[in-house]
Structures are given as structure tokens and as C-alpha cells.
């Protein structure tokens, strides 16, 4: 089996070490300045940084934030992240308002062993996203060792994730390693039953992961906008509900997500899972009932029982399905309670609106109370559990949306490839 290249103390002691972190964190205005709204990704980098510090290394941190247009944008500076990092460490954290050139060379030259230097947003230069070898070489020339601790950017071949590895011995950081291991276990050897819960809106990002996970999962529970696609694939009316269409290039090839869903339902039709020991459940489940309204802001909501919808000739065609209903919550909760491993990506409804948040909360609570391995991923999924006081109750919360989905889809991530070494024979 292939293994991630892990560094050991001897690799890093007294060295100048470049670490790719992901400080692309949400910011909020406070007074005249910007402060960090959620520092999870910064905290995730502390283990590697502290270990480097303990080995007397000089630590240079690289990151991007947001999508600047290849030029400096004051609102997308990494300076607030440096300030925040300083509050989490009891040794010096410095910041330099450039990522290449004279100011950086000076800052590195005056760095003492054990100190941290965060460089400015890499994406202020077009070389970063273009994976430009010259830009990558300039970054690499600042240090002796490269560590990638930003799994969330591993699905992109950029100068700081791929190009730089051409020039330096390259290793996996602690956070990256943990994240890969948690996801690999789900994909390759989950404790069974494995229940995958998918919801949210962006089926385009998730479809490959859903297809791949439906091969390993014992049950797939669908909710949110994604479930609408499955309902439609089953021939049920979804009226004004949200469904995401396939992009034009896929459509040209005759692919649309309704077909993908039909295909999946067809392929797994004979794969039953024994629920409560005597009821055969299909592998892919979609809602039995939904909370519907005329719009997301409509004051009135109603429960639609989909198991009878086909026979109902008076359906209100102006409705949108905005959350999973009470029967579905109950069924999903019971399925989740028998799981040994759960992977959850995507809210079950429009959780941002209190009228449509109960389904997501019920599922979050059911997953949190499961004593097996429970992994949650996705930006909105993370946001949906805020304030529920459940964070500590999951085995792992992955902040790598796209990278995690591509990994679970079975794709090779360009940022991981250069860190992977064959074990010695
Ligand atoms: P994540 O970021 O966790 O991967 P997505 O970005 O795919 O999740 O989807 C999150 C969004 O999906 C939320 O803004 C939520 O309001 C929306 N959503 C969930 N259910 C529905 C629904 N039934 N109809 C429309 N939008 C929905
Ligand atoms: Mg999202």
C-alpha cells in the first residue's frame, strides 16, 4: 500500500521549514478592522507548527485566502490570521506583506530558530494558481524542507501545493495526515454498517463522491436539494423545488443528474440492507415526506407526504420542498442509530431559515449521539451545526469540502501525489 511521506524529527531539526497551511478562514468586520469568524483551520495547523518549534526549526507559513484577482487586495490580507495565530502560540509569530522578493528574504534572514513567519496571500501573484515553476522556485528557495498541512487545497495543482515539491523534500503535515487517514478509512475499510448522509445543494460537486460512496456504503440517506434530484428520478413531482442542472458540457454528452440518480437507484435496487432485522430497506433512501412552502420566506409551511403524492391529483404546483419531514427524520434517525460509521455532507434543508432547519438539526443530533466513527464535512454542513453544541460529539470535522469529496470519489489528488512514497521493499 502507498503511504504518505511523514517527516521525523531528524528531517526538521534546526532546518528552515516551509509549511503550506490553509488559513482561508471566514472573516468578519469588527470596528475598523477584520477579525476571524471561525479559526478552526488555524487551530488545525498548531500541531505541526508546535512540533517544528520544539525541533528548533524556522517556520515559514504559506497560505491563500479568498479569490483575489492576481493582485493585492487589502481585505484579503493574511495579516489578521498572523495576529490571531499569535494569540494561540507563546512564541513569536511574524508577518511580511509579500510572498516573494526582497522583503521576504529580509524577513527570513532575521527569523530566529523556533519562530514563525507568515507570508502574504499567495494568490496576490498569478503564479500561484498557474502553478508557475518560477514562482514555485522562488517560494522553495526560502527553505530546506516542505511540509503540506493543507489537505483542503490538495485537489488543486498550485505552485504552493505541487510546483514547490519539485525543489524540496516534501512531507505530509500532521493535520493533512489525520484528515487523509479519517477519509481513507471510510473509503477503504469502514466499520460496518457505513451510512452516508448527503444533502445540500451542489450535486455537481458531490455526484462523483455519491456514486463512489454508494459502492462502499451500506445505506445512503439523501436530503436537501440533492434529494429532489432523487425524487424526480423516481418519477415524483417536485414542483418548484430546487434541482441543480448539469453544466452545459455534460448535457451535450447526454448526461444529466436525473439520469445519474436513476442509474444509481437502478444499480442498487437489489442491494438491500436488513433494517430492524426483518425489513429490507433499499440502499439509497430519499425522503418519505417533506416540509414545503411557496417560497423560502413564506409564512406558511406544510408537510407533504410523498408516499401518497402520486395518487393525489390536487397537488399544489407552486410548492418548494425545503426540508425533510417528520417521518423521514424518524426513519433516518433509526437507520443512523444502527451505523458503526457515518459520513455526513450537506444539510437536509434550507437550515439558514428556522422554518426549515429542524430536519438538519435532527440528523445532526442523531449523528452526534452515535458512538461509532462519525465524520462531517462541507462548509455549510459545518455552519449548520453552529450553536447546537455538538462539535465535540463528532469523531472528525473535515474543513476540506472539495478535496474531501474528490478523495472520497476515488480520485488521485495532485497535492497528495508528491507526498506519497512507496514503502521500502
Ligand atoms: P456543503 O457546503 O455542506 O457541502 P452545499 O453547499 O452543497 O453544502 O449546500 C448547502 C446549501 O443547500 C444551503 O445553503 C441550503 O440552504 C441549501 N439547501 C438545502 N436543502 C435545500 C432545498 N431543499 N432546497 C434548496 N436549497 C437547499
Ligand atoms: Mg457549500
C-alpha cell read off for 236: 415524483
Ligand 1 atom nearest to CA at 384: 3
Distance 198 CA to ligand 1 centre (A): 10
Cis-peptide, bond into residue 227, ω within 30° of zero: no
Lowest mean pLDDT among 140-154, 220-234, 239-253, 363-377: 239-253
pLDDT band of residue 2 (cuts 50, 70, 90) is: low
Ligand 1 atom nearest to CA at 347: 19
Ligand 1 atom nearest to CA at 227: 23
Distance 402 CA to ligand 2 centre (A): 9
What is the separation of C-alpha 93 from the centre of its chain, rounded to a whole number of angstroms? 28
Global pTM value? 0.89
Closest CA to 307 of 292, 293, 286, 335: 286
CB 52, CB 12: distance < 8 Å:
yes
Closest CA to 292 of 326, 271, 320, 250: 320
- Burial grade of 308 (CB within 10 A; 0-12, 13-18, 19 or more): exposed
Q: Which residues contact 266 (CB under 8 A, 6 or more apart)?
A: none
What share of the chain has pLDDT > 70, as a percent? 98
pLDDT at 1: 45
Residue 420 has pLDDT above 80, yes or no: no
For residues 109, 110, 114, 120, the Cα torsion angle rounded to the nearest 10 degrees is -80
pLDDT in tens, 279-324: 788 999 999 999 999 999 999 999 999 988 777 778 899 999 999 9
- The closest ligand to the CA of 197 turns out to be 1
Domains 9-175 and 190-408 in one fold: yes
**Best substitution site from 380, 383, 394 to test ligand 1's pocket, by max atoms within 8 Å of Cβ?**
380
Distance 46 CA to ligand 2 centre (A): 25
The residue whose grid cell reads 432485522 is 277
Q: Residue ranges of the domains in the chain? A: 9-175, 190-408
CB 147, CB 19: distance < 8 Å:
yes
Lowest mean pLDDT among 78-82, 129-133, 147-151, 187-191: 187-191
Q: Which one of the listed residues 66, 114, 379, 410 is annotated catalytic?
A: 379
Can you tell me the distance from the alpha carbon of 243 to that of 256, in angstroms, rounded to the nearest whole number?
A: 11
pLDDT at 251: 87
3-state secondary structure string, the chain? CCEECECCHHHHCCCEEEEECCCCCCEEEECCEEEECCCHHHHHCHHHHHHHHHCCCEEEEECCCCCCCCCCCHHHCCHHHHHHHHHHCCCCEEEECCCCCHHHHHHHHCCCCCCEEEECCHHHCHHHHCCCHHHHHHHHCCCCEEEECCHHHCCCCCCCCCHHHHCCCEEECHHHHHHHHHHHHHHHCCCCCEEEEECCCCHHHHHHHHHHHHHHCCEEEECHHHHHHHHHHCCCCCCCCCCCCCCHHHHHCCCCHHHHHHHHHHHCCCCCEEECCCEEECCEECCCEEEEECCCCCCCCEEEECCCHHHCCCCCCCCEEEEECHHHHHHHHHHHHCCCEEEEECCCCCCCCHHHCHHHHHHHHHHHCCCCEEEEECHHHHHHCCCCCCHHHCCEEECCHHHHHHHHCCCCCCCCHHHEECCCC
Residues in contact with ligand 1 by the CB-under-6-Å rule are 199-202, 224-225, 242, 321-322, 345-347, 349-350, 352, 378-381, 401
Closest CA to 142 of 189, 199, 182, 102: 102
Q: Which CATH number fits domain 190-408: 1.20.1740.10, 3.40.50.1110, 3.40.50.10790, 3.40.50.1260?
A: 3.40.50.1260
Distance 378 CA to ligand 2 centre (A): 6
Instruction: Classify domain 9-175 by CATH number.
Output: 3.40.50.1260
Dihedrals φ, ψ of 421, to 5°?
-120, 150
pLDDT at 425: 43
Averaged pLDDT of the chain:
93
pLDDT at 399: 82
pLDDT at 35: 86
- The closest ligand to the CA of 381 turns out to be 1
Is the pLDDT higher at 28 or at 176?
176
Determine whether 31 is an active site residue.
Answer: no
pLDDT at 7: 86
Q: Which one of the listed residues 15, 20, 41, 187 is annotated catalytic?
A: 41
Can you tell me the distance from the alpha carbon of 131 to that of 217, in angstroms, rounded to the nearest whole number?
A: 36
What share of the chain has pLDDT > 90, as a percent? 81
Q: Which one of the listed residues 5, 143, 402, 415 is annotated catalytic?
A: 402
Distance 36 CA to ligand 1 centre (A): 24
Q: Which residues contact 69 (CB under 8 A, 6 or more apart)?
A: none
Q: Closest Cα to atom 16, ligand 1: which residue?
A: 350
Distance 197 CA to ligand 2 centre (A): 15
CA distances 379 to 35, 56, 228, 297, Å, are 19, 35, 21, 23
Range among 27-36, 43-52, 203-212, 398-407 rated most confident: 43-52
Determine whether 379 is an active site residue.
Answer: yes
Determine whether 402 is an active site residue.
Answer: yes
Q: Which one of the listed residues 6, 50, 202, 294 is annotated catalytic?
A: 202
Amino acid at each position: 500500500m502507498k503511504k504518505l511521506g511523514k517527516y521525523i524529527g531528524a528531517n526538521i531539526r534546526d532546518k528552515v521549514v516551509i509549511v503550506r497551511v490553509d488559513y482561508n478562514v471566514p472573516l468578519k468586520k469588527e470596528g475598523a478592522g477584520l477579525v476571524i469568524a471561525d479559526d478552526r483551520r488555524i487551530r488545525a495547523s498548531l500541531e505541526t507548527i508546535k512540533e517544528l518549534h520544539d525541533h528548533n526549526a524556522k517556520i515559514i507559513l504559506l497560505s491563500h485566502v479568498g479569490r483575489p484577482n492576481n493582485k493585492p487586495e487589502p481585505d484579503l490580507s493574511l495579516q489578521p490570521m498572523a495576529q490571531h495565530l499569535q494569540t494561540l502560540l507563546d512564541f513569536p509569530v511574524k508577518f511580511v506583506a509579500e510572498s516573494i522578493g526582497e522583503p521576504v528574504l529580509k524577513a527570513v534572514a532575521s527569523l530566529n530558530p523556533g519562530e514563525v513567519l507568515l507570508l502574504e496571500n499567495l494568490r496576490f501573484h498569478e503564479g500561484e494558481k498557474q502553478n508557475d515553476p518560477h514562482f514555485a522556485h522562488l517560494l522553495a528557495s526560502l527553505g530546506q524542507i516542505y511540509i503540506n498541512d493543507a489537505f483542503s487545497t490538495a485537489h488543486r495543482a498550485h505552485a504552493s501545493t505541487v510546483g514547490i515539491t519539485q525543489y524540496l523534500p516534501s512531507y505530509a503535515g500532521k493535520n493533512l495526515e489525520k484528515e487523509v487517514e479519517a477519509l481513507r478509512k471510510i473509503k477503504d475499510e469502514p466499520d460496518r454498517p457505513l451510512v452516508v448522509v448527503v444533502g445540500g445543494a451542489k450535486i455537481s460537486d458531490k455526484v462523483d463522491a455519491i456514486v463512489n460512496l454508494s459502492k462502499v456504503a451500506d445505506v445512503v440517506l439523501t436530503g436537501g436539494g440533492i434529494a429532489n434530484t432523487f425524487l424526480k428520478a423516481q418519477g415524483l413531482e417536485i414542483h418548484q423545488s430546487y434541482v441543480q442542472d448539469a453544466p452545459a458540457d455534460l448535457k451535450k454528452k447526454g448526461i444529466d443528474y436525473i439520469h445519474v440518480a436513476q442509474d444509481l437507484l437502478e444499480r442498487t435496487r437489489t442491494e438491500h440492507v436488513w433494517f430492524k432485522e426483518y425489513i429490507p430497506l433499499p440502499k439509497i433512501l430519499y425522503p418519505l415526506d417533506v416540509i414545503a412552502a411557496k417560497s423560502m420566506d413564506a409564512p406558511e409551511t406544510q408537510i407533504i407526504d410523498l408516499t401518497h403524492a402520486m395518487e393525489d391529483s390536487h397537488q399544489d404546483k407552486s410548492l418548494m420542498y425545503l426540508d425533510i419531514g417528520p417521518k423521514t427524520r424518524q426513519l433516518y434517525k433509526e437507520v443512523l442509530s444502527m451505523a458503526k460509521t457515518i459520513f455526513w455532507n450537506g444539510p437536509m434543508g434550507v437550515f439558514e431559515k428556522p422554518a426549515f432547519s429542524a430536519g438538519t438539526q435532527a440528523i445532526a443530533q442523531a449523528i452526534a449521539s452515535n458512538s461509532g466513527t462519525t465524520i462531517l464535512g462541507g462548509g455549510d454542513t459545518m455552519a449548520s451545526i453552529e450553536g447546537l453544541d455538538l462539535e465535540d460529539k463528532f469523531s472528525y470535522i473535515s474543513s476540506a469540502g472539495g478535496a474531501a469529496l474528490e478523495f472520497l470519489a476515488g480520485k488521485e489528488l495532485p497535492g497528495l501525489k508528491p507526498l506519497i512514497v512507496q514503502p521500502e521493499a
